[in-house]
């Protein structure tokens, strides 16, 4: 039905449009490194809401919620959705405090350096970069799998095309370009997601027939008494919560909001919108299982679409996936550039900002090559996220505990973080995912709380709050 050449042309046309839009919008608007990295105070409620949604709802939305639905049923989908909602709520609580503590910052690492010191700062950089690189690989892996499933387009070609096209407007226009394209992409996402859902209902024979298929072939997926599904849902809830707090792209957008009131309203809007989207895409995975299209859970939604959709709707779904991956990849690219540029400035104090920014841009372009190579391996999208989630789980509590406790020193935070990460590794190896995420949180939090309780000093070493 689709040839490799035709699908590649569709991808080339789509990514080119967004690359051109991003470059044209940001021409003459990027004035120095601060505007490139944060677009500080420029985003209103609508634009901020759109970019907070689009930058999170990457192509994984069409992979991991359906995959969760197939593996754990309704409880897993609900758990995953709650995890995403709780993330936005966490930003509502934490971001005003971080901005108050570090008003001139642009990423999370700025706060960590001021609050704790260089060792905790270095650990946070490593964790954040590791998570963002894993996230980037997962996104490009996902879209590569879609193109290969559709027309056997080599995964390396897809990863390189999407990665390089996104780098063009991101490296040129910075966060401004990323936020603008996010807003445009979010409009497409909503339209196409509605179209795909209607298509599944219509071509699947209606709601009654779909329900009958599920109850016949996969009735356990509809049960709330499915303990395996509940456990999996809790795992996803914790994993998505702890890991995304380290996503520098979200913290950049926190600083891009015009003020805290705008930020709060945007996060609330995102919370309201994201929950039904996550539920909907998760349920589509359960529908795929009902139609015996769940053999490869990572691409179940696309397997379902290819089995029942006409050509036009398959194209629409493919374009939805492509738009989604670009909205997340540009966020990740800009975040990595920001991290490299800001932190290089601290290492090379005598180097001009313009030179550091140029070096960071070049490094990002070069970086896309090994990322594309790893993406072409086709690893499980959900498993890739789990690897990063384990590391983030150990560091999360100590990192933000410093906002609430004056007694928490850098040594306390660093030791509890490292021990937290180590405590989860045996459970992860044993494939006990829920324990591999909860144990690090409990261990690191317990050490922090115990250490601060035993501490006699009310002062933060070397820092005044």
Task: Enumerate the domain spans of the chain.
Answer: 4-378
Average predicted confidence (pLDDT) for the chain: 84
pLDDT tens per residue, range 169-201: 877 777 777 777 778 778 877 887 888 899 999
Mean pLDDT to the nearest integer, 39-68: 80
Q: How far is CA 395 from the centre of its chain?
A: 18
Exposure class string for 241-269: b at 16+ Cβ within 10 A, else e: bbbbbbbbbbbbbbbbbbeeebbbbbbeb
Number of Cβ within 10 Å of residue 291's Cβ equals 20
In terms of DSSP H, where are the helices of 204-310? 207-217, 227-244, 248-256, 260-290, 300-308
Output the pLDDT for position 463: 39
Q: CA separation (Å) from 367 to 180, 251, 306?
A: 24, 22, 33
Q: Are 73 and 220 spatial neighbours (Cβ–Cβ below 8 Å)?
A: yes
Question: Would you place residue 41 in the very low, low, confident or very high pLDDT band (cuts 50, 70, 90)?
Answer: confident
pLDDT tens per residue, range 118-177: 899 999 988 888 888 888 888 888 888 888 888 889 999 999 999 888 888 877 777 777
Topology (CATH level 3) of domain 4-378 = Sodium/glucose cotransporter (1.20.1730)
Output the pLDDT for position 285: 92
Distance CA 154, CA 12 (A): 14
């Amino acid at each position: 039905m689709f040839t490799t050449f035709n699908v590649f042309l569709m991808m080339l046309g789509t990514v080119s449009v967004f690359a051109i839009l991003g470059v044209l919008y940001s021409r003459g608007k990027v004035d120095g490194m601060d505007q490139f990295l944060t677009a500080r105070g420029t985003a209103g409620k609508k634009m901020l809401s759109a970019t907070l949604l689009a930058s999170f709802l990457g192509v994984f939305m069409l992979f991991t919620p359906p995959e969760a639905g197939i593996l754990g049923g309704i409880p897993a989908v609900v758990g995953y959705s709650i995890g995403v909602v709780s993330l936005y709520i966490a930003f509502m609580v934490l971001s005003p405090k971080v901005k108050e503590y570090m008003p001139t910052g642009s990423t999370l690492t700025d706060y960590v350096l001021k609050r704790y010191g260089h060792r905790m700062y270095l650990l946070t950089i490593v964790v954040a970069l590791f998570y963002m690189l894993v996230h980037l690989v997962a996104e490009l892996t996902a879209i590569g799998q879609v193109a290969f499933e559709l027309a056997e387009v080599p995964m390396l070609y897809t990863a390189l095309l999407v990665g390089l096209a996104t780098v063009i407007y991101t490296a040129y226009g910075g966060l401004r370009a990323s936020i603008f394209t996010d807003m445009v992409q979010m409009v497409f996402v909503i339209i196409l997601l509605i179209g795909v859902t209607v298509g599944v209902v219509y071509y699947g024979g209606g709601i009654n027939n779909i329900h009958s298929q599920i109850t016949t072939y996969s009735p356990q997926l509809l049960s709330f008494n499915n303990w395996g599904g509940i456990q999996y849902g809790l795992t996803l809830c914790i994993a998505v919560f702890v890991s995304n707090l380290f996503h520098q792209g979200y913290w950049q957008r926190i600083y891009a909001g015009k003020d805290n009131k705008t930020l709060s309203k945007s996060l609330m809007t995102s919370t309201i919108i994201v929950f039904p989207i996550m539920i909907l895409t998760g349920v589509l995975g359960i529908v795929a299982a009902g139609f015996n299209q769940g053999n490869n859970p990572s691409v179940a939604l696309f397997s379902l679409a290819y089995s029942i959709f006409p050509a036009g709707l398959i194209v629409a779904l493919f374009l939805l996936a492509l738009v989604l991956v670009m909205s997340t990849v540009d966020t990740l690219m800009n975040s990595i550039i920001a991290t490299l540029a800001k932190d290089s400035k601290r290492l090379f104090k005598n180097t001009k900002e313009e030179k550091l920014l140029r070096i960071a841009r070049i490094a990002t372009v070069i970086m896309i090559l090994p990322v594309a190579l790893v993406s072409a391996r086709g690893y499980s999208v959900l498993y890739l996220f789990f690897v990063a989630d384990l590391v983030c789980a150990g560091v999360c509590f100590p990192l933000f505990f410093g906002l609430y406790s004056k007694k928490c020193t850098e040594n306390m935070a660093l030791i509890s973080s490292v021990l937290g990460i180590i405590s989860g590794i045996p459970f992860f190896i044993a494939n006990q995912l829920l324990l591999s995420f909860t144990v690090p949180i409990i261990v690191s939090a317990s050490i922090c709380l115990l250490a601060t309780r035993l501490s006699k000093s009310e002062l933060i070493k070397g820092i005044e709050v």
